[in-house]
């Protein structure tokens, strides 16, 4: 786990205007920067970036967050990857709670990573330049219907036939980074001698594989004739993991948002050809089965994922593996479908024969996940015999067990129960599903704390806007928060504790990032602050000190009114009365020296 202190320091060092500006064209507009929102379609800018708050907010769709949140939402990165990306941009090294690697060794690893990235970028430039000088490769791409524009968009290139063509690119062809990045292969005799180094990719059309940041992390090479293997990928490296990356995702991000779905295909050429034919929202797995990580990445980009597979046996096996990867990620607000083309077609050939409209119709009519699951478990069994129905349930059990409790799982359970002449409750009991959802229950009591209002809400608003003000609040001030009620007082104390932990340099961006990681209770308040002009910290500090003083006065007044009926002895009442009035006098003297404040 990355320490919160590091997150705070990181957000204080990065400039969100620079981060967002890499992906969105921003123009200065008053105190903030404006641009077209990258998260929804709009013609007039409603997307603002505040350099003082270090926060972005869209008045159109409500998207908001810090620099970390922007990278997560825009690039589809995980939290840790977003933190690492920002850290690298400002020269910080990310610590980890269980990290036992010495700082010098970690620095060496980062240097190694940078050397591999540089080598891959140089190779990519070289392959692209070679394509312009390779008539056979150009003819092959034109024969597949690709234009130079699409080839340039995906950075396509060509690896010439020589065994060591990359020697002309790198001054040190024996550099360790070349073999570590998968660009070259070291062949050594059985006795360990006579090492020979040669290029991994030769006489192939080259497809650069990019990560979510757009960095080249590997290559796919395709032969132009009937040679084998038809596709050759970079090996697994510290930068490239086939089970985590998707070809074309970086290039397709905006198209996916515009289309409202992502189309997952089986090969590089499918992605590039579909982009040429008007379907730029396509991506592909990298010569491996779809994984949970793939599905997570896709669902960060869109709520609708459509898998396209060939109709042959291999395509159906791939579809089954994709189904199994999807089930743990399924939720009621996400849609996953499966498209099966005729056996003789892939997406490219189908569009060329039947047209884009016909393919769009196929996508629209793709099979929902629930239907595909039930078809998978019933196809090979006879539903008119007890044995056949039992086998269907047997095959369905591990699939349903991998799903989280949800309305969709309930619908599938009901469908399965109907097919196998059972009840949903019997299926859930038989399958030992966690948290069965078909059993009728009373509605649970309302959970969560009451919504803050009035003075409490304004205190929260100021503490979230300016966390450093929390350092003005001592233990007595925090005890006074019980005046709002037990749950409200506890909520304010927790907020103060989080804000004080950030120290004097705590910012709205740092605290809001931490709050969003813990719960969604503060989302509305964070959005409100993000969309409002920044308040004056000095005025807010005066206000909150005065407000806390007023709360203390109210608490003392309430105690004084109840003192004579408190059950204390006369001497105890007299002593406590003097204490209360002394505290009231002190608070009134403090108030006389302050600027008057109007409370909400």
Q: How far apart are CA 26 and CA 20, in angstroms?
A: 8
Which CATH class, in words, describes the domain spanning 249-365? alpha beta
pLDDT at position 350 is 92
Mean pLDDT of 284-304: 87
Q: pLDDT class for 446, splitting at 50, 70, 90? A: very low
Mean pLDDT of 202-213: 91
Highest mean pLDDT among 299-308, 443-452, 563-572: 299-308
Second-level CATH architecture of 454-592: Orthogonal Bundle (1.10)
Contacts of 276 (CB under 8 A, 6+ apart): 145, 146, 147, 150
Name the superfamily (CATH) of residues 374-431. Answer: DnaG, RNA polymerase domain, helical bundle (1.20.50.20)
Average pLDDT, the chain: 86
Q: Provide the percentage of residues in the chain whose pLDDT is more than 70.
A: 93
pLDDT at position 597 is 44
70 pLDDT above the threshold of 80: yes
More confident residue, 312 or 428: 428
pLDDT at position 351 is 92
The domain spans of the chain are 4-89, 103-233, 249-365, 374-431, 454-592
Quick check: 449 and 520 in contact, CB under 8 A?
no
Q: How far apart are CA 501 and CA 87, in angstroms?
A: 21
Q: How far is CA 216 from CA 79, 204, 499, 505, in A?
A: 21, 18, 40, 37
Strands 335-340 and 367-368, by their bridges, are antiparallel
pLDDT at position 437 is 60
Q: How far is CA 582 from CA 74, 88, 545, 553, 575, in A?
A: 58, 56, 19, 11, 11
60 pLDDT above the threshold of 50: yes
* Tens digit of each residue's pLDDT (9 = 90 or more) over 233-272: 999 998 898 888 999 998 998 899 889 999 999 888 999 9
Number of helices followed by number of strands (H, E) in the chain = 25, 16
Quick check: 274 and 146 in contact, CB under 8 A?
no
165 pLDDT above the threshold of 80: yes
Quick check: 419 and 374 in contact, CB under 8 A?
yes
Q: How far apart are CA 121 and CA 118, in angstroms?
A: 5
* Tens digit of each residue's pLDDT (9 = 90 or more) over 460-504: 889 899 988 888 888 878 887 877 777 888 888 888 888 888 887
pLDDT at position 312 is 79
* Tens digit of each residue's pLDDT (9 = 90 or more) over 574-599: 787 788 788 778 877 776 666 444 44
Looking at the domain that runs over 4-89, which CATH code has it been given? 3.90.580.10
pLDDT at position 599 is 40
CATH fold match for the domains 249-365 and 374-431? no
Q: How far apart are CA 412 and CA 430, in angstroms?
A: 15
145 pLDDT above the threshold of 80: yes
Quick check: 70 and 16 in contact, CB under 8 A?
yes
pLDDT at position 434 is 64
More confident residue, 64 or 106: 64
Q: Number of C-alpha atoms within 13 angstroms, CB side, residue 455?
A: 20
Q: pLDDT class for 525, splitting at 50, 70, 90? A: confident
Q: How far apart are CA 282 and CA 275, in angstroms?
A: 7
Which CATH class, in words, describes the domain spanning 103-233? alpha beta
What are the φ/ψ torsions at residue 366 (nearest 5 degrees)? -60, 155
Backbone conformation region of residue 493, classed left if phi is above 0, alpha if psi is from -120 to 50, else beta: alpha
Mean pLDDT of 71-90: 84
């Amino acid at each position: 786990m990355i320490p919160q202190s590091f997150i705070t320091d990181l957000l204080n060092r990065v400039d969100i205007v620079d981060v967002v500006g890499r992906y969105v064209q921003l123009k200065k507009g008053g105190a903030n920067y404006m641009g077209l929102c990258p998260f929804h379609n709009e013609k007039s800018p409603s997307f603002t970036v505040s350099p003082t708050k270090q926060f972005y907010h869209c008045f159109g769709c409500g998207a908001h967050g810090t620099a970390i949140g922007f990278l997560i939402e825009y690039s589809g990165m995980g939290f840790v990857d977003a933190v690492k990306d920002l850290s690298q941009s400002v020269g910080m090294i990310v610590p980890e709670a269980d990290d036992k690697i010495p700082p010098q060794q970690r620095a060496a690893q980062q240097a190694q990573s940078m050397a591999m990235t540089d080598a891959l970028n140089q190779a990519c430039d070289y392959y692209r330049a070679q394509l312009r000088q390779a008539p056979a490769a150009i003819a092959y791409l034109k024969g597949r219907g690709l234009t130079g524009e699409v080839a340039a968009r995906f950075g396509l290139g060509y690896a010439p036939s020589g065994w060591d063509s990359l020697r002309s690119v790198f001054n040190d062809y024996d550099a360790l980074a070349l073999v570590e990045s998968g660009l070259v292969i070291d062949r050594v005799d059985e006795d360990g001698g006579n090492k020979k180094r040669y290029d991994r990719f030769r006489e192939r059309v080259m497809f650069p594989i990019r990560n979510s940041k757009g960095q080249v992390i590997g290559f796919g090479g395709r032969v132009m004739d009937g040679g084998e293997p038809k596709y050759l990928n970079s090996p697994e490296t510290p930068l490239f993991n086939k089970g985590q990356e998707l070809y074309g995702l970086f290039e397709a991000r905006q198209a996916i948002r515009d289309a409202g779905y992502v189309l997952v295909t089986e090969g590089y050429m499918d992605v590039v050809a579909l982009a040429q034919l008007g379907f730029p929202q396509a991506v592909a797995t990298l010569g491996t089965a779809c994984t949970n990580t793939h599905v997570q990445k896709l669902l960060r980009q869109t709520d609708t994922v459509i898998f396209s597979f060939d109709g042959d046996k291999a395509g159906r096996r791939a579809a089954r593996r994709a189904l199994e990867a999807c089930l743990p990620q399924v939720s009621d607000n996400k849609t996953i479908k499966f498209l099966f083309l005729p056996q003789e077609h892939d997406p490219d050939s189908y569009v060329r024969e039947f047209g884009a409209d016909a393919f769009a119709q196929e996508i629209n009519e793709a099979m929902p996940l629930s239907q595909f699951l039930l078809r998978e478990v019933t196809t090979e069994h006879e539903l008119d015999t007890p044995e056949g129905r039992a086998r269907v349930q047997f095959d369905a059990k591990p699939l349903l067990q991998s799903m989280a409790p949800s309305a969709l799982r309930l619908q599938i359970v009901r469908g399965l129960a109907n097919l196998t002449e059972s009840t949903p409750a019997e299926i859930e009991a038989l399958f030992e599903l966690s948290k069965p959802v078909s059993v009728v229950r009373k509605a649970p009591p309302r959970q969560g704390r009451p919504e803050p209002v009035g003075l409490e809400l304004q205190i929260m608003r100021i503490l979230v806007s300016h966390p450093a003000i929390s350092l003005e609040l001592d233990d007595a001030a925090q005890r006074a928060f019980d005046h709002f009620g037990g749950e409200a007082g506890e909520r304010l104390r927790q907020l103060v504790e989080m804000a004080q932990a950030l120290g004097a340099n705590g910012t709205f961006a740092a605290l809001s990032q931490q709050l969003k990681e813990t719960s969604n209770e503060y989302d509305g308040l964070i959005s409100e602050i993000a969309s409002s002009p920044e308040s004056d910290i000095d005025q807010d500090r005066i206000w909150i000190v005065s407000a806390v003083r007023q709360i203390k006065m109210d608490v003392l007044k309430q105690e004084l009114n109840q003192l004579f009926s408190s059950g204390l002895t006369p001497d105890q009442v007299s002593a406590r009365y003097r204490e209360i009035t002394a505290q009231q006098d002190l608070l009134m003297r403090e108030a006389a020296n302050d600027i008057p404040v109007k409370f909400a």
